[in-house]
Chains A and B, each alone.
Chain A
Amino acid sequence: MKQKLRRSMLFVPGSNTGMVCNAFIYQPDTVMFDLEDSVALSEKDSARMMVFHALHHFTYQNIETAVRVNPLNSPFGLQDLEAVICAGADIIRLPKTDTMDDVLEMEQEIAHIENRIGREKKTLLLAAIESALGVVNAVDIARCSKRMMGIALGAEDFVRDLRTQRTKEGTELSAARNQILLAARAAKIGAFDSVFSDVKDKEGFVHEAQYIKGLGFDGKSLINPNQIPWLHKVFEPSQKEIDWAIEVCEAAKDAKEKGLGVISLDGKMVDAPVVLRAEWILDLARASGVLGEEQ
């Protein structure tokens, strides 16, 4: 199945009207409206209403939308879900996911709302893992629901749980990153890295982005639109990768046209995952603007 590009997931506080209105302009792969930590308790209702209407607005019809809702055990979680599912959000980001029961409980509520309002398109789930318990349970969390499209590391809460702090080197996150990546890949879903908080430190951001791309992550959560072009540049494939991907895709097309079950390139057999990888590179190249749409 073709994989959607999700290099950049831009957090947009639901209480920041200017950002809610303008986030689409910056063209992140996914706009992630936040109703949780960035919204004051006194403004939970107004942020929810703002995001509800933004999701209906034509400016957000051609971009993937996710919403970080409040936990279901808070007074706001269920109302958040009702509002954003009615408004057509593509993805619900589940905060502070510690166990698969957290996912299953959320899934049950989503299914209940979808059935009641007659929504045909299934709302997807992205679980944020923000604790040691969540990391330990990452495999179960990633595999427990067909709605799961990915798991994401929430590093700020995670390091507090570990009783340490974030560093530029990211040593304190290495176990969590590896575990989350392995769990996501075992479940064949996406893996997304945490935010990089120092919005002025381009060098540090790019270094971290290169590192997590090298590990195999699909993308990162972002807190500032300035980070979007930096991140997309990191994910831009090299000309060598593009040339290889074109050759693989042409060999696959050729084999299909000739009705051949086996794809070969330069005398070597090419497996299906290699073709998927090549298609992914070409998608990245098109999204990065280094390859035309028709190619």
Chain B
Amino acid sequence: MNTLHVDIQPAHAGTLESSDAFVRVMPNDRAGVEIELESSVAEIYGDAIEASVLQTVLAMNVDRVKVMIQDKGALDFVIKARVQTALLRALGVSEPDWSTL
């Protein structure tokens, strides 16, 4: 996944159930990663969650993307799993390199 991916399709992953997160990703006109977070713990953990999401997106070399997260009290690894699944779906990748995730 060394190529910078800028051409993605809208996609989503996750649910709105307790302990989960619903993540939507879509192409963005602007360069970079735009993150929109809705969470009951945003005041305390919002910055940490956004930093973690940004790191996850950058590690997958995706640019010009908007990531919208509705957090329902998810653990950090759950949000990461949902963001990665949504991005793989957006990229049409079904066989990722697991050693890089």
A residues with CB within 8 A of B: 17-18, 20-22, 45-46, 49-50, 52-54, 56-57, 79, 82-83, 86-87, 117
Contact = CB atoms under 8 A, between A and B. Distances in A.
B74 interface: yes
Interface in B56-86: 74-75, 77-78, 80-82, 84-85
Contacts of A54: 77
Contact of B78 (A45, A50, A82, A83): A50
Contact of A56 (B18, B77, B85): B77
B77 A57 contact: yes
A50 B95 contact: no
Interface string B77-101: 1101110110011000011001101
B84 A49 contact: yes
A179 to B, nearest CB: 37
Given A17-B74, A17-B78, A54-B77, A79 B95 contact: yes
Contacts of A82: 95, 98
Contacts of B75: 21, 57
B99 A18 contact: no
B55 interface: no
Residue from B15, B77, B95 with most neighbouring chain A CB atoms (10 Å)? B77
Nearest to A86: B98
Contacts of A49: 81, 84-85, 88, 101
B47 interface: no
A45 B14 CA distance: 11
Given A46-B81, A46-B82, A53-B80, A17 B17 contact: yes
A21 B81 CA distance: 12
Cβ-closest 9 pairs across A and B: A53-B77, A86-B98, A17-B20, A18-B19, A46-B85, A49-B81, A53-B81, A49-B85, A50-B81
B53 interface: no
Contacts of A21: 19, 75, 78
B20 A79 contact: no
Given A18-B20, A83-B98, A45 B89 contact: yes
Nearest to B86: A46
Contact of B18 (A18, A20, A79): A18
A52 B101 contact: yes
Contact of A17 (B19, B88, B98, B99): B19
Contact of B98 (A18, A20, A52): A52
